């Protein structure tokens, strides 16, 4: 789910990578281009276990690996242009403050539940009525990334989180870009994953080689990518049902 605390003028070139981590956890890497006229936050709801603690999410700094997705894409025989074309980019109440973590060029927080947004700067929250319209997130936790205004491609945002259902990989793909919940949304996403559950990714494109053969700076991924495993890719483009994806 890609939610913004303020109105965003443009979001495009969204890339997401997912892989299972140890002990039922999951790695997630997220990158995009966006344009906004004021400072805001990107909010990613996460399907975490109930009563997850404040420190349950580990943020990973990929500032030194800005080409994470560019290198991953080279593992697939079709060039990027063979995929559908991209859009052209033209003091809080309620408990202790949430921990703020510096992650490269932005700062991030983990919000354990909807009610815990009261512990976050109000500039980086969504209105309560938005969550009332999204009951599927009543037990979710949230990764919140504070972004500067402007027109930019941010370096990949990465973290590891505990999953309520360790059998599924989670991709946050629901959109809230204008403060409203729409049944359909304009997708410009490229999804990547590594998984042993190949039945779950039937129809996805598989890389002919393992990741270490085409990600030349894979050590900079800090263990997020399994160098010995193949990658899978799926393109989501156009007006699609506005929901998250589990595989």
Check residue 70 and report its DSSP letter. H
Question: Do 219 and 195 meet the contact criterion of CB atoms below 8 Å apart?
Answer: no
Condensed to tens digits (0 to 9), the pLDDT of residues 87-99 reads 444 444 445 656 5
* CA-to-CA dists, residue 140 to 68, 112, 117, 135, 175, angstroms: 27, 7, 12, 10, 16
72 pLDDT above the threshold of 60: yes
How far is 39 from 8, CA to CA, in rounded Å? 10
How far is 53 from 46, CA to CA, in rounded Å? 13
206 pLDDT above the threshold of 50: yes
- pTM for the full model? 0.84
Look at domain 2-246 and name its CATH class. mainly beta
pLDDT in the model for residue 88: 43
Please tell me which of 28-37, 106-115, 129-138, 206-215 the model is most confident about, judged by mean pLDDT: 206-215
Give the mean model confidence (pLDDT) for residues 119-124: 76
**Domain residue ranges of the chain, discontinuous segments joined by +:** 2-246
pLDDT in the model for residue 35: 84
Condensed to tens digits (0 to 9), the pLDDT of residues 135-185 reads 888 889 999 888 877 777 778 999 999 999 999 999 998 877 666 777 887
Give the mean model confidence (pLDDT) for residues 13-40: 92
């Amino acid at each position: 789910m890609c939610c913004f605390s303020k109105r965003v003028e443009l979001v495009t070139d969204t890339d997401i990578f997912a892989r299972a981590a140890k002990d039922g956890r999951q790695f997630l890497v997220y990158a995009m281009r966006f344009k906004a006229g004021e400072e805001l936050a990107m909010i990613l709801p996460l399907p975490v276990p109930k009563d997850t603690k404040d420190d349950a999410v580990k943020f990973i700094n990929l500032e030194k690996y800005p080409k994470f997705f560019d290198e991953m894409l080279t593992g697939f025989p079709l060039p990027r242009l063979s995929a559908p074309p991209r859009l052209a980019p033209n003091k809080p109440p309620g408990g202790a403050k949430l921990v703020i973590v510096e992650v490269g060029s932005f700062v991030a927080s983990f919000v354990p539940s909807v009610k815990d947004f009261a512990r976050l700067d109000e500039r980086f929250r969504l209105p309560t009525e938005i969550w009332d319209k999204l009951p599927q997130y009543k037990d979710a936790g949230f990764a919140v990334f504070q972004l500067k205004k402007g027109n930019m491609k941010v370096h990949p945002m990465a973290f590891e989180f505990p999953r309520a259902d360790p059998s599924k990989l989670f991709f946050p793909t629901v959109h809230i870009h204008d403060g409203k919940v729409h049944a359909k949304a304009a997708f410009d996403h490229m999804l990547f994953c590594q998984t042993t559950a190949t039945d779950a990714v039937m129809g996805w494109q598989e890389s002919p080689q393992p990741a270490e053969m085409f990600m030349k700076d894979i050590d900079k991924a800090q263990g997020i990518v399994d160098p010995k495993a193949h990658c899978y890719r799926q393109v989501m483009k156009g007006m699609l049902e506005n929901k998250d994806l589990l595989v």
